Amino acid sequence: MGFKEYVGKRTLQGFVTILLAITLNFILFRIMPGDPTRAVSGDPRVDTATRLALIAKFGLDRPLFEQFVLYFYNLLRGEMGISFVQIGRPVVSIILGRKMVNTLVLMGSSMFLAFILGIAVGVVAAWRRGTKTDVSFVLLSLATYSMPVFWFGMLLLMLLSYHLHLVPIAGTITAGVAHPNFLAYAADYLHHLIAPMMTLAVSFFGGYFLFMRDTILDVFTEDYMLTARAKGLSDRKILFKHAMRNALLPMVSLMGVHVTFLISGATLTETVFSWDGLGRLIYDSVRNNDYPVLQGIFLIMAVLVVIASISADIANAYLDPRIKEAA
Amino acid sequence: MVQSSEVAEGSLMEERLSITARRLRGFLSLYRRSWIGMLGLLFILAFIAMALIAPYVAPYDPRALVGLPFRKPSAEFPLGTDQVGRDIYSQLIWGSRVSLMVGLLASFFGVAIGTLIGLVSGYYKGPLDAVLMRITDLFITVPNLPLMLILAAIIGRSMWNIIFVIGFLGWTSTARMVRSQTLSIKERPYVEAARSVGARDRQILWRHILPNVFPLVFANAIVGIVDAILAESGLSFLGLGDPTKPSWGLILRYANEAGALATGRWWFIIPPGLCIMLVAIGFAFSSYSLDQILNPRLRERR
């Protein structure tokens, strides 16, 4: 199978997964207690005119199958309904905006940090396997993996904010401050980002590290490593040119799958640090029974994850011709 | 005729048992040599003991209002009291029960689903496999914690529901691993041989394939326990755990609600988190050692 066919196959699979996710999303929110139909027809937070408009648009008085078709049709037009809580605000504008940017910044930066650290330390540990350095890093990473992420966030807050007054307590920017220019704004934002980013990065580090270490150890057993050694290449060259390159491939595909874990961690971290992102929005929406918003976030996240995992797989196949052959 | 076959059956059974016993002994002697694994086991046993003797060592009923709110640690209340005057230390001790129960049962539930799906998918292949794998993809794709939050909100906040929700969303990695293992095992000569003497699919799956994927399933179950314990604590912290049972995540929720961070009440925050971490470390260390022993490829490498 060629590269193009592989890309085609993965894209098709991803498409099917997204369709399934949409279906699941539809079903899930119809079986909620106070499902959208009832919520719309009886929720005192929604006024009569809006209610009638919603019922017409989503066909909430029609049979379930028609509702599903209409739901699908509305989705294609980028229509996800309105929030029950922030009355009248379309779900799309709540999700695709500042909150999404905040979450992407937090997730992206912490993932990047954990990734780099995991690779660097993983290579060192694998190279010195069995030594004290290796064992202590393994133990440390198992310990960080076992730590509840929200608790670590609380500890950081206690130490860095309340004790040392180094970082702000909550939010993404200092409330009530007019920033003179973009640079001041960015500095303030980054200052707020430090603690939640550290929290998430530490919680991801363990997984990346262990995976990288394992993969490198696997690569060491490959024949081409023996060849490299036999050629008389230096340790450094063997490690970075041969071992690390080959170990990076599985790491890339791991990242694709890992996005769902990121989202779970981000939800908890954003709640602890009052970070104004999608994770916190999930928490607030669950508490306020804001189903349309939840449904919207769900779908966006599922699509993001599918795209991430497909891109990771395709990048992998592009970099490693063996996958193309096997696929 | 009947007798001889019974004898054969009996000796076969004996032989199988002795093989199992020998394997188990070999495994235990390997495991005992790993100090990380033994340390993990020690942690686990300590928390199991804590859960078992909770009624005898906890000074108070964890839900009873036994003192004034926000008392500092003292001889009377070793870790102080929470915002309504419940003893934090007693809640901490009772919390081990929820954590272990949810961890063990949710992981067992998830791994059982995963094993079943993996076996069926790998053994029968074809359209059934395709359908099952798309469903697996879907479950890998949906963000776990948010879905758990919603499911917990739908079916209600009880411990059994939490176990169900975590298990229901935690089977995907087992399913994938078991499937790929099954794919390779079913091509082995002894499976072929079993089939040629007329063994049925169910027999082959149950007797020849399952025992061979079992080590993998077992290792997965241990990792699953860590994940389930952490998930339970997260759900409880977000207010979707069982409100009637004291759990470590719930204590941390109370601490957060009561502003324990701002007021520097570390005794309200550090112990419950540490307990979650230590019990999770116990299982994580054990799983690490298991992985080294059960994965022969890893063993050779050393």
> pLDDT at residue B302 above 60?
no
Q: How far is A102 from chain B (nearest CA, A)?
A: 18
> pLDDT at residue B2 above 50?
no
Please report the pLDDT score of residue A33 as a whole number: 55
Please report the pLDDT score of residue A142 as a whole number: 93
User: Mind listing the pLDDT tens digit for each residue in B228-252?
Assistant: 999 999 999 988 888 888 899 999 9
A221 touches chain B (CB under 8 A): yes
Answer whether B233 sits within 8 Å of A148, measured CB to CB: yes
Please report the pLDDT score of residue B6 as a whole number: 55
Strands (E) across A169-268 are located at none
B153 touches chain A (CB under 8 A): yes
Q: How far is A216 from chain B (nearest CA, A)?
A: 11
A88 touches chain B (CB under 8 A): no
Higher pLDDT, B215 or A176: B215
Tell me how crowded residue A38 is: count the other CB atoms within 10 A of its CB: 12
Q: Two tokens at A133? A: 């350095």
Please report the pLDDT score of residue A304 as a whole number: 83
Answer whether A263 sits within 8 Å of B256, measured CB to CB: no
Find the Cα–Cα–Cα–Cα dihedral A173, A176, A179, A185, rounded to 10°. 0
Answer whether B301 sits within 8 Å of A309, measured CB to CB: no
Closest CA to A301 of A29, A17, A30: A17
Answer whether B141 sits within 8 Å of A13, measured CB to CB: no
Please report the pLDDT score of residue B283 as a whole number: 95
Tell me how crowded residue B18 is: count the other CB atoms within 10 A of its CB: 10
B270 touches chain A (CB under 8 A): yes
Whether residue A177 contacts residue A204, with contact meaning beta carbons closer than 8 Å, is answered with: no
Higher pLDDT, B273 or A243: B273
Q: Which one of B144, B281, B297 has the shortest CB-CB distance to A146?
A: B281
Whether residue A213 contacts residue A138, with contact meaning beta carbons closer than 8 Å, is answered with: yes
Mean pLDDT of B96-112: 94
Please report the pLDDT score of residue B301 as a whole number: 44
Answer whether B150 sits within 8 Å of A217, measured CB to CB: no
B143 touches chain A (CB under 8 A): yes
User: Mind listing the pLDDT tens digit for each residue in B255-265?
Assistant: 888 887 888 78
Answer whether A260 sits within 8 Å of B144, measured CB to CB: yes
Q: How far is A184 from chain B (nearest CA, A)?
A: 27
> pLDDT at residue B226 above 80?
yes
Average pLDDT for chain B: 85
Residues in chain A within 8 Å Cβ distance of B39: none
For the entire predicted model, the pTM comes to: 0.87
Q: Two tokens at B119? A: 């076996």
Please report the pLDDT score of residue B279 as a whole number: 96
Q: Which of B139, B141, B281 to mutate to test the interface with A (most CBs of A within 10 A)?
A: B141
Ordered mean pLDDT values, 10 residues apiece, chain A (327 residues):
80 86 81 55 66 70 78 78 72 84 91 91 88 91 93 91 81 76 84 90 91 86 81 80 80 78 88 89 83 83 84 79 57
Q: Two tokens at B161? A: 């529901």
> pLDDT at residue B69 above 50?
yes
Residues in chain A within 8 Å Cβ distance of B153: 32, 286, 289
Answer whether A151 sits within 8 Å of B264, measured CB to CB: no
Chain A and chain B share a number of CB contacts under 8 A equal to 158
Closest CA to B43 of B222, B293, B285, B219: B285
Q: Which one of A21, A150, A271 has the shortest CB-CB distance to B141?
A: A21
> pLDDT at residue B111 above 60?
yes
Q: Which of A16, A129, A151 to mutate to test the interface with B (most CBs of B within 10 A)?
A: A151
Query: B158 Cβ partners below 8 Å, 6+ apart?
Result: B242, B244
Please report the pLDDT score of residue A325 as a whole number: 54
Strand partners, A314: none
Answer whether A221 sits within 8 Å of B301, measured CB to CB: yes
Residue of B nearest to A163 (CA): B264
Whether residue B157 contacts residue B242, with contact meaning beta carbons closer than 8 Å, is answered with: yes
Task: List, as own/partner pairs, every contact residues A8-14 make where C-beta atoms lie below 8 angstroms and the sequence separation is at least 24, other chains included.
Answer: A9/A327, A10/A310, A10/A313, A10/A314, A11/A310, A13/A310, A13/B134, A13/B137, A14/A306, A14/A307, A14/A309, A14/A310
Closest CA to B276 of B81, B47, B91: B47
B145 touches chain A (CB under 8 A): yes
- Percent share of chain B, pLDDT over 70: 94
Please report the pLDDT score of residue B1 as a whole number: 41
Higher pLDDT, B79 or A257: B79
Residues 94-133 of chain B whose Cβ lies under 8 A from any Cβ of chain A: none
Please report the pLDDT score of residue B214 as a whole number: 86
A191 touches chain B (CB under 8 A): no
Residues in chain A within 8 Å Cβ distance of B300: 221
Q: Which one of A260, A261, A282 has the shortest CB-CB distance to B141?
A: A260
Q: Which of B102, B145, B184, B223 to mutate to test the interface with A (most CBs of A within 10 A)?
A: B145
Residues 154-213 of chain B whose Cβ lies under 8 A from any Cβ of chain A: 154
Q: What is the value of ipTM here, to two decimals?
A: 0.87
